[in-house]
Amino acid sequence: MDKNKLQYIDISPLVSSKTAVYPQDTPFSRKVELSFSSGDKLELSSMTTSLHIGAHTDAPNHYKKGLPGIDQRDLSFYLGPCQVIEVKAKRGERINIEHLGNTKISTERVLLKTSSFPNPDQWNEDFNSYSPELVEYLYEKKVILVGIDTPSIDPANSINLESHQVVAKNDMSILEGIVLDNVPPGEYILCALPLRLKDCDASPVRAILLGARQPLGL
């Protein structure tokens, strides 16, 4: 690879018709309108999908009535220094402050590596999520975005979305569905910009991490 080429880690899963979504959500599908194989002069297609697919960021109006859609969110939430923290917890368990051990919170964006949703194409409900107490703790540490390598920062069967509500109260942002399998814990630069979709409750993103700044000591 060219040593002058920008180095990055892609933390976005491949999105296809196989990508797992919540049972009530709309899976990804693509309709080809024009194609070279049909004798057309170009490829042209459309797609239908849940906005909460693959790597995506939730908008405040997804979890709180009267709050803004994704087009109104400041992009600075999704661009800047971040910290990948690896945690170990029982399947289906919410991540608490204790799971962080002695890890110091050193950036405004925190991504939890739980390894509890190992296959983006296979739905499993026993993934890890954030506890409301942890979200509140991170807010007190000046964190503005919480991320996780699972479909949600709340459990799959959560009705009240308690962790989402703490995010809403503190005007934080959320990044879900990222893939951190090959990402060592440490500090990076996150780029996960949402599309400017008017009034929408979420947006898929192409999330990447730019070169590690330094390893995090415990």
Is 62 among the residues known to form the active site? yes
CA distance 116 to 129: 9
33-54 burial, b for 16+ CB within 10 Å, e for fewer? Answer: eeeeeeeeeeeeeeeebbbbbb
User: Is 194 in contact with 57 (CB distance < 8 Å)?
Assistant: yes
Q: Which residues contact 74 (CB under 8 A, 6 or more apart)?
A: none
| Pairing assessment for the beta strands 44-48 and 29-34 based on DSSP bridges | antiparallel
Catalytic residue among 56, 62, 99, 164: 62
Residue pointed to by tokens 């709050």: 67
In single-letter form, the type of residue at position 83 comes to: Q
Range list of H helices, the chain = 132-140, 162-169
Q: Which residues contact 169 (CB under 8 A, 6 or more apart)?
A: none
CA distance 130 to 154: 6
Instruction: Judge residue 96's burial from the number of C-beta atoms within 10 Å of its C-beta, 0-12 exposed, 13-18 middle, 19 or more buried.
Output: middle
Catalytic residues: 62
